[in-house]
Amino acid sequence: MYLHELQVGNVKLENNILLAPMAGITDLPFRLVCEKFRTGSCMY
């Protein structure tokens, strides 16, 4: 997988790794991993 900037309409994301919203399913350790690897659309 190659990381590159992603643009959807006028929204620019830092990279092309995306996660669907998973409210009530994810926990703090998972969110910390998302933050560390800077996923494009992870809610913290």
Over residues 1-44, the pLDDT tens digits come to 688 888 889 988 888 877 777 778 888 888 888 888 776 555 44
- What pTM was estimated for this model as a whole? 0.48
Residue pair 9/32 in contact (Cβ under 8 Å)? The answer is no
Residue 25 located in a structural domain: yes
Q: How deeply is 25 buried, as exposed, middle or buried, from its count of CB atoms within 10 A (0-12, 13-18, 19+)?
A: exposed
User: What is the predicted pLDDT for the residue at 44?
Assistant: 44
Residue 42 located in a structural domain: no
Structurally, the chain folds into a number of domains equal to 1
Domain that holds residue 25: 6-37
